A and B are shown apart, each in its own frame.
Chain A
């Protein structure tokens, strides 16, 4: 019980960046326990294993049921590997798969779990983490004994860098349970090629729940037009049907990196910040001085957006700054 097992997510063009971050968080634990970092890659076809820096070994499990993702198939493989390897820690990134799998395998393997981690350290056989709560408004320092399942916040750790030696690749059989799965992948929906792509926008005016009502969108739109910007929204704005889904910024929306991002009435929950924190210039407007978006903003204004936005529009229309 020394090694660290990292669940790796594959995406179209290789490894999901947050899985590489989970590897480097795993490395911090392995260097304290004196164990190896072992990556688990589960795929449908015996495809070539993508390059993965910072791991000592890669365990590759293939089975037709692992091709398109279902929680049931991937949880079965991960739980099987935990039982076989008895690792000191099991690392996942907080993604949809991370949500599905981390808690499920923790229960199956009777292990404690700590989620939303931004920091991990091991001392005296116990793990100490910093974990985000309440949309980033609070953080908890948590202590858990090893072995433990750890789910990390995307963006909190650097992507793992190469250790020099290329990892040994071990092909392992899939557990028998994969032949009798109940969940069935039906199909996948991706934004159509050539359709509106928010991630290409140079300027974004993003509205949050602080906009309050559908009627108020018009004034934000007017600001976006005056700035030659695209209008976008946080998840609740999209869920309300106030803007189209393709205009959602964040974890389950679009990852954006515009030259200008103006957030109006967006609190800055981690799932939102994940999608916009690397914008070149972030200006955040919120009536609450403790809004977490201020932690990533370059410029912050604590005020009512309904006072500020008309003042901005008036100046932009007048044409002189």
Chain B
């Protein structure tokens, strides 16, 4: 099995969010980038599969700021290979929908038979990556996946989660695409020497063989939603707030033992 994991960096929004001049994006000059949380789970699941059945894992990212370091970290965590994919200069980050043809072409070229990526990213308002990829590649896919079990080598059984604590096992033949929600085990971060070793590795940069496809949608305004929505703020230090909360609970008869 050759697993391709697609990783994306997203803005790490701190306390104060600055909207860029023009009002259509966050001010990216000052924000830090971090690995998309669910992509992190996808990577962990790939490494987990490698450990239990001996898969080859290739991590890929669309090239940009911070990408080399993230891929080096992926190698340190257990990925076998990593690639940065160079696309023509575009303004700002490339949406999941727009990167779909590029990523699909990479999956075909690398000969991957399982593509894992995060179920969602905080910016994917024009479409999520996994189902889009499945549609472009013509491969079966599932999102909200919380565990992947290899069967006999030609199929996998995934656990797909719904609401209300309900989930289902779905069997998919390879090749397939999965939008991972949670890895089968908590994420293992690497330390010290392994990381330092990986930081010395140069990550090959390959040219995209398909064009970015941006459908005709645009953000006309980006804003911070109205805060507080009517919540009463409890002020003061911890003691004052604790007093206030106890009063609230007592008033509503929520302190009695039931």
Residues of B within 8 A of A235 (CB): 182
Q: When chains A and B are docked, how far (Å) is the Cα of A107 from the Cα of B227?
A: 35
Contact (Cβ within 8 A) A96 B132: no
Contact (Cβ within 8 A) A299 B246: no
Q: When chains A and B are docked, how far (Å) is the Cα of A135 from the Cα of B245?
A: 27
Contact (Cβ within 8 A) A138 B26: yes
Q: When chains A and B are docked, how far (Å) is the Cα of A134 from the Cα of B248?
A: 32
Chain B CB within 8 A of A140 CB? yes
Chain A CB within 8 A of B186 CB? yes
**Residue among A107, A245, A252, A281 making CB contact with B135, cutoff 8 Å:** A107
Say which one of B52-60, B61-69, B73-81, B156-164 lies at the interface with A: B156-164
**Residue among B132, B160, B170 making CB contact with A104, cutoff 8 Å:** B132
Q: When chains A and B are docked, how far (Å) is the Cα of A133 from the Cα of B222?
A: 9
Residues of B within 8 A of A254 (CB): 164-165
Q: When chains A and B are docked, how far (Å) is the Cα of A99 from the Cα of B177?
A: 13
Chain B CB within 8 A of A213 CB? no
Q: When chains A and B are docked, how far (Å) is the Cα of A15 from the Cα of B212?
A: 38
Say which one of A22-30, A33-41, A64-72 lies at the interface with B: A64-72
Contact (Cβ within 8 A) B168 A312: no
Using a CB-CB cutoff of 8 Å, which residues 67-107 of chain A contact chain B? 68-72, 75, 95-96, 99-107
Given A113-B127, A240-B186, A321-B164 contact (CB < 8 Å): no
Residues of A within 8 A of B181 (CB): 252
Chain A CB within 8 A of B190 CB? no
> Which residue of chain A lies nearest to B251 when distances are taken between CB atoms in the complex?
A321
Contact (Cβ within 8 A) B168 A186: yes
Contact (Cβ within 8 A) B26 A302: no
Q: When chains A and B are docked, how far (Å) is the Cα of A116 from the Cα of B143?
A: 16
Residues of B within 8 A of A231 (CB): none
**Residue among A183, A202, A246, A283 making CB contact with B170, cutoff 8 Å:** A183
Contact (Cβ within 8 A) B127 A184: no
Residues of B within 8 A of A233 (CB): none
Contact (Cβ within 8 A) B97 A99: no
Contact (Cβ within 8 A) B228 A107: no
Contact (Cβ within 8 A) A312 B228: no
Residues of B within 8 A of A314 (CB): 242
Q: When chains A and B are docked, how far (Å) is the Cα of A103 from the Cα of B234?
A: 42
Chain B CB within 8 A of A4 CB? no
Given A71-B140, A281-B252, A300-B233, A138-B222 contact (CB < 8 Å): yes
Contact (Cβ within 8 A) B245 A112: no
Q: How would residues 225 to 269 of chain A score, 1 for a CB under 8 Å from any chain B CB and 0 otherwise?
A: 001100000010001110001101001111100011000000000
Using a CB-CB cutoff of 8 Å, which residues 273-303 of chain A contact chain B? 281, 283-284, 288-290, 292, 294-303
Q: How would residues 218 to 229 of chain B score, 1 for a CB under 8 Å from any chain A CB and 0 otherwise?
A: 111111111111
Q: When chains A and B are docked, how far (Å) is the Cα of A99 from the Cα of B38?
A: 14
Say which one of B84-92, B115-123, B192-200, B202-210 lies at the interface with A: B115-123
Chain B CB within 8 A of A200 CB? no
Chain A CB within 8 A of B232 CB? yes
| Minimum CB–CB distance for A79 against chain B, Å | 9
Chain A CB within 8 A of B110 CB? no
Chain A CB within 8 A of B136 CB? yes
Contact (Cβ within 8 A) B160 A246: no
Residues of B within 8 A of A161 (CB): none
Most buried by A among B157, B233, B245: B245
Residues of A within 8 A of B15 (CB): 288-290
Contact (Cβ within 8 A) B141 A71: yes
> Which residue of chain A lies nearest to B229 when distances are taken between CB atoms in the complex?
A295
Q: When chains A and B are docked, how far (Å) is the Cα of A298 from the Cα of B234?
A: 10
Residues of A within 8 A of B254 (CB): 203, 227, 259-260, 281
Residues of B within 8 A of A190 (CB): 165-166
> Which residue of chain A lies nearest to B143 when distances are taken between CB atoms in the complex?
A99
Say which one of A53-61, A142-150, A165-173 lies at the interface with B: A142-150
Contact (Cβ within 8 A) A104 B135: yes
Using a CB-CB cutoff of 8 Å, which residues 125-184 of chain B contact chain A? 125-132, 134-136, 140-144, 157, 160-173, 179, 181-182
> Which residue of chain B lies nearest to A312 when distances are taken between CB atoms in the complex?
B242
Residues of B within 8 A of A100 (CB): 131, 141-144
Contact (Cβ within 8 A) B164 A255: yes
Chain A CB within 8 A of B17 CB? yes
Given A103-B127, A139-B223, A308-B241, A183-B171 contact (CB < 8 Å): yes
Most buried by A among B124, B163, B228, B234: B163
The 4 closest A-B pairs by CB, nearest first: A107-B135, A311-B242, A307-B238, A295-B229
Mind listing 14 A-B residue pairs with CB under 8 Å? A96-B161, A99-B179, A100-B143, A104-B141, A113-B127, A144-B215, A185-B171, A186-B157, A186-B170, A239-B182, A295-B225, A299-B234, A311-B239, A321-B250
* 14 more CB-based (< 8 A) A-B contacts, given A251-B163, A295-B227, A298-B232: A96-B163, A103-B128, A115-B125, A133-B125, A134-B123, A139-B223, A140-B221, A187-B169, A235-B182, A253-B163, A290-B227, A295-B231, A307-B237, A311-B241
